Structure 1
Amino acid sequence: MCQYSSEDGFANDWHLVNVGSFARGGAALVVMEAAGVEARGRITPNCLGIWKDQHVDGLSRIVTFMKSQGAVPGIQLAHAGRKGSTHPPFVGRSSIPESEGGWQTIAPSAIPFDDKYIAKVPKEATVEDIKQINSAFVSAALRALKAGFQVIELHFAHGYLISTFLSPVTNKRSDEYGGSLENRMRFGLEITESVRKALPEDIVLGVKVSVSDYADNGWDVKQSVEFAKRLKALGVDYITSSSGGVVSGVDYKISPEIQLNGSEQFVKEVGITAGAVGNITNPQMAESILQQNKASLIFIARAFLNEPHWPYRAADALADGQAFQYPKQYNWCIGGEKWRKDVFAKQNP
């Protein structure tokens, strides 16, 4: 979940406390918000960045705390593409003119996201731009490695740059990066291959994709499965199934059905570790998804913002007498496991 709380891309105390609360709260893996691989790759001027070496120290401080709490630290690497140069959503998301500190955005084709809020016409990426952005992802991955992250997730979803290369709705190119499925996948596969080769084998590499544009003749689960097969062959360790973000004005489904369909296909057809995400808010639902083999991992975002100690509740609801390691600072002062379970039972008769 983007926090829109950085200046010049630097991580600060807000990021430490926000992400640190999830690690302290019992999460096994904490993936930090999308970090821009270059300055024009940010969504807003206040987005987290990892495009310069000076960003490493602030991130390293957060990684150290996450590891001290037993959590595995991860980070998303992203490029916003045509959805960049906007105000934060709590200000009122709209394009920022270059005269007011905005920047020229970039996309596979010179098509704006919409004609009202994010109406800035992006530059159509040249082959030289594509090579430069590929290098930016590699450099960002190496900075993430230096900061101590153990999981790196490439953000290829939600209508950001690589997502728009994948989708036939937004990619109208006639060169080797547009047209056929093979060509539309090319840029994302090139980035993945470059990043994987640059990282040690013990660093986990994941990819987040949107499995549906919710649009006629758009990107869909079938194409996502083909992309996933190619990603696996390049050494990707897991794929997270999200959806949407490419087309404006879409009536999204509140149910996570489409995402779960995607993750289930990744598990069964591709044979890769698959992450489920989106409106998974209670422990029973998360456990059911795993037991039905619809996903291998459960990624939770908004529910964690509402309750950073969500894993405590999940453990009390599902542990069935099995031990769960709460922080000693909390365990002794609230009376231990029996007290928590008694309270939870009263709250959830």
Structure 2
Amino acid sequence: MITIHTPEIVIIEEKARLQAKIEGVETDNVLWFETDKKYKNDMTHEKSDAFVVSLLWTGIRNGKDILVKGAMSEKLYYSLNNHLIPLIASIYKKYNPIRVHCEKLDSKKLQNRQAVGTGLSCGIDSLHTFAMHENEMTPPHYKVTHFTNFNVGSNHLTGSGGLMRRKFEGRTEIAAACANELGKPLIIVDSNLSDVMKMDFVHTHTLRNVATALVFQKLFHVYYYASGLQTKQLKFGGDSATYDVISLPLLSTENLSFYSAGSNNTRVEKTKMVADMDIASKYLNVCVHHINNCGKCIKCKRTLLTLDILGVIDKYEHIFNLENFYSVKDDYISKLTAKKPKNPLHIEIYEEMMKTGYLEKWKKSQNSE
């Protein structure tokens, strides 16, 4: 059994920390989320929702039920036990359903500032999420008011220790500058969630980020989680993005509704929209390994090839290492086109190359060398 005790807020110098004592895990006995203390009154100590979602994968992986000593949202309690946990168990056959136990179910809405949040990594998906909610189709109460930057695992994909901290701080600087130019506040959250979970990020990123957003149920009434995949291409798999369109509504509470943003668009379509944003040529940041765009990791290559197909790659020479990209470009295209691609993201690029005549021109250039 994993036990979650009642959350509390503590002030540590200029930071506000929402924390809860936990039992039944092999790592830290306190799970915490920390942000600027000006957001203290927006943090949700009245309900344990953020901690339940944080530890859900830990419980599922270890076959342990979760006991909540404090209160939790009745809606979330129902959705987890009756829908999301059975869904995860059916997708990942090696896991059996667990139960969340809580005697203090609370269906009341907390006072809420009616803010709308979304993550700002400055990648294609996040910039597209902002752009798509700036148009006339978005009602006033659904337009983005705040950006977020959560240190709950993405910086742990490569490197360790001090490198992870430097990546978080460096990427946060880029996001902060972008948010400032867009005229929106950026809420930065640090956490020990990765140390507590000790699980693969790709497998668990949705629950990690949703849990952190649930810290702010007195601030947000809507939160957009940028989709990494197009819905019609989805096939349940190891990446939690493959079932975001199902899981996100099930993670909503009486206070906060989650939406999978951009799930009807291909990555190429998103890149076209982002490429038209002046802000993107300053702050677009997609690199897997480094703070700044290296130009040759898989995400840099994929993004730059798309920008090249669209004819706008030169706009990005100041924020990408184009020399690195051009040194691997031909090999990348050769591998991508050697046989029919199976990766949905590569299929999109291949189809765009065919549609625009880019592939034919590239082949002619290869033959003339």
On whether the aligned pair clears a TM of 0.5, the verdict is: no
Q: Which has the higher strand share?
A: 2
Q: Which has the larger radius of gyration?
A: 2
**Which fold has the larger relative contact order, with Cα–Cα distance below 8 Å and residues 6 or more apart in sequence?**
2
Q: Which has the higher helix share?
A: 2
TM-score with structure 1 setting the length: 0.31
